[in-house]
Structure 1
Amino acid sequence: MNSFDKLYKPGKMTLGIEFPLDNDWSTEGNRKRLEDNRPFGVPDISNHLALAKQIDEAGFAALWMRDVPVYDPNFGDGAQLFDTLPYLGYLAAATKNILLGTAAIVLPLQQPIKLAKAAATIENLSDGRLLLGLGLGDRPVEFLMYGINYQERPKLFKAHLKIMQEAWKTESDLSQFYPFLNQDVAVYPKPKNKIPLVIAGYSGQSMEWIAKNANGWFNYPKTPEETYLNQKKWCEALYDADQACKPYISAFHLNLLKDDNAEFRPHRFGGGVGVNHLTELLKTYEEIGVNHMALHLRKSETPVSESIAKIEEKVLPYFGI
């Protein structure tokens, strides 16, 4: 079974959670951050393992994390702090059912052979639960530190992906990328199953290219109206590429308000709402074609563990396979 078979069925939407598992952008979370003397955007992840297991056991479809090599105060976001690839391996052993997704690894910064080997390792050890999301990267300081030309990102994205896909083949020929090779070499392990590729945003490519080369598209948090237009573009590109339906994935910055009956209050990238109105809000996205929604809880006024429990009880039964 492909990982995407667990993620969605056409016309249905599943729910996931996006790291970090902290609510440090809420009023109480920010107060605690100041007490801990943490820079803005550097989360408290001390309870991450218990929360990851809670999310897995609750029945969410996926856990998503991002690749942030260095903390840049200009962005004010340290993601989940832990390095993406070893952390995925750790979570593969610590969880049982949930899909493990990256949204996204900055592909132009990666050595493609190393990433191909790491991704295949995680795919093997997680029993096929890896969703490999790849992105372009948007933090210039990282490219300066890596000695990579920021303007070369789109070209490197394509080139690195081709090398990875060749490395995963049972019979691979890496000499086409490395002409100096005077002997046969191979990268092991090989994936047990085809690793699903998710492209985050446009990654410097055309929509047509994404439709042909990706198994799913992870677009950034948008209003329902904006999401509808983007999902329509995605479907049209798939149709032009003579492709069957592929997942449209998005995220939502959720402030789960302490008043369970609170009406929806929009904010950038999402909004605040009581749990009793969350289902109807998410159904709006399902109806316009979103196949999977990753909930981001950093703004939540309700503590993360309590938020997960409330969503499990009152919302999750309405979404899933």
Structure 2
Amino acid sequence: MKFWQALTWIEPEQLLEAAKFAEEVGFEGVFLGDHGVYPQQVTARYPYSTDGLPPMAPEDPYPDCWVTLGALSAATSTLKFSVSVYVLPLRNVFEVARATGSLDLFSDGRFLFGVGAGWMEDEFDIYGVPFRQRGKRMDEMITILRKLWQGGWVEHQGEYYDFPALQVSPAPGRQVPVLVGGGNKAALRRAARNDGWLGAGSAPEEVPAVLQEIAQYRAEYQRQDQPFETIVGLTTPPDVDTFKRLEAAGMTAGVSYPFKFALGARSSLDEKKRLMEQFAESIIRHCR
């Protein structure tokens, strides 16, 4: 089993060194979080907590994903990168195509595009994007991105996007893996149509049933023979036996908690390094 380190909400000045150390001790990859803006008044209910309250705060840092991942790719050589998750339907599809394609090129194919439909309706209102259309809009955006990543002239006529032949260059010339976050049926089906699933945080006993559901959808879409990643954060403390059991059930990667959860809102770089080293010693080296 592989393991990813969550760098969500980390102090920006520590990002580069934390990523380099994650690579050094054996993590497969690192991921960031994403929000475009954080409204002062949030009325939307967070879907992944029992009380509906989100784990993030307005002051938690969300540096631009593409600037940050570009910097991390230049500072490392084997580490992979993702976002868990990028709120795709908020954004302009052409700008996303250029940013993701450039990142994939400069990182030598180490980028996995983690996307989600988003939960914060207040954010969609600020962007002027219809919240109720976000799922269908995202599906069409993924279709367009896959065309643009291939390079050459691309045209598209769809429900939300209609444009004549155009090019976004340079293009990676490959299909960047698209991993989908979310726990509802629509999100799991969307993941099955693409290249992987990003779990937002599940109890270990819940994971096998979700993986089985996704496997059924993949068979329905005749994608069961395609590569597929399942990067799942667990709500319980890391445990070797649990990870091995879930690997047998089809989970391909586990997650080391965001430092905010493990060490508090703010911590030193040395504290973070010690935590990653402990995770590597107690978990990663026993699950290879």
Which ranges in structure 2 are unaligned for 5 or more consecutive residues?
43-53, 265-270
Return the alpha-carbon distance in structure 1 between the equivalents of residues 282 and 191 of structure 2: 35
The answer to whether 1:105 aligns with 2:93 is: no
Q: Which residue of 2 aligns with 1:249?
A: 231
Return the alpha-carbon distance in structure 1 between the equivalents of residues 87 and 228 of structure 2: 22
Query: 1:98 and 1:203, CA in 2 relative to 1: closer, same or farther beyond 3 A?
Result: farther
For the 8 Å contact 1:66–1:80, the answer to whether it is kept is no
Question: Residue 74 of structure 2: SS of its match in structure 1?
Answer: helix
For the 8 Å contact 1:21–1:298, the answer to whether it is kept is yes
- What is the Cα-based RMSD across aligned positions, in Å? 2.4
Q: TM-score, normalised by structure 1?
A: 0.74
For the 8 Å contact 2:177–2:195, the answer to whether it is kept is yes
1:109-128 alignment to 2 at 5 Å? 109-128=90-109
Return the alpha-carbon distance in structure 2 between the equivalents of residues 202 and 160 of structure 1: 20
Query: 1:186 and 1:203, CA in 2 relative to 1: closer, same or farther beyond 3 A?
Result: farther
Return the alpha-carbon distance in structure 1 between the equivalents of residues 156 and 73 of structure 2: 32
For the 8 Å contact 2:180–2:196, the answer to whether it is kept is yes
The alignment-based identity, stated in percent, is 22
CA shift for structure 1 position 145: 1.0
The amino acid across from 2:166 in the alignment is V
Question: Residue 244 of structure 2: SS of its match in structure 1?
Answer: helix
The answer to whether 1:313 aligns with 2:284 is: no
CA shift for structure 1 position 167: 1.6
The amino acid across from 2:272 in the alignment is V
Query: 1:272 and 1:315, CA in 2 relative to 1: closer, same or farther beyond 3 A?
Result: closer
The answer to whether 1:279 aligns with 2:214 is: no
Question: Residue 47 of structure 1: SS of its match in structure 2?
Answer: helix
Q: Which residue of 2 aligns with 1:295?
A: 256
CA shift for structure 1 position 233: 0.5
The answer to whether 1:162 aligns with 2:112 is: no
Q: Which residue of 2 aligns with 1:77?
A: 56
CA shift for structure 1 position 54: 0.4
Q: Which residue of 1 aligns with 2:204?
A: 224
Q: TM-score, normalised by structure 2?
A: 0.82
Question: Residue 293 of structure 1: SS of its match in structure 2?
Answer: strand
CA shift for structure 1 position 209: 4.5
> How many residue pairs were aligned?
263
The answer to whether 1:66 aligns with 2:33 is: yes
CA shift for structure 1 position 179: 5.3
Report which of the two structures shows the higher radius of gyration computed on alpha carbons: 1
Return the alpha-carbon distance in structure 1 between the equivalents of residues 16 and 151 of structure 2: 35
Return the alpha-carbon distance in structure 1 between the equivalents of residues 262 and 102 of structure 2: 34
CA shift for structure 1 position 224: 1.5
Question: Residue 226 of structure 1: SS of its match in structure 2?
Answer: helix
Query: 1:232 and 1:16, CA in 2 relative to 1: closer, same or farther beyond 3 A?
Result: same
1:13-28 alignment to 2 at 5 Å? 13-20=1-8, 22=10
Q: Which residue of 1 aligns with 2:155?
A: 174
CA shift for structure 1 position 306: 0.8
For the 8 Å contact 1:219–1:251, the answer to whether it is kept is yes
Question: Residue 15 of structure 1: SS of its match in structure 2?
Answer: strand
Return the alpha-carbon distance in structure 1 between the equivalents of residues 163 and 133 of structure 2: 23
Q: Which residue of 2 aligns with 1:255?
A: none
Query: 1:16 and 1:56, CA in 2 relative to 1: closer, same or farther beyond 3 A?
Result: same
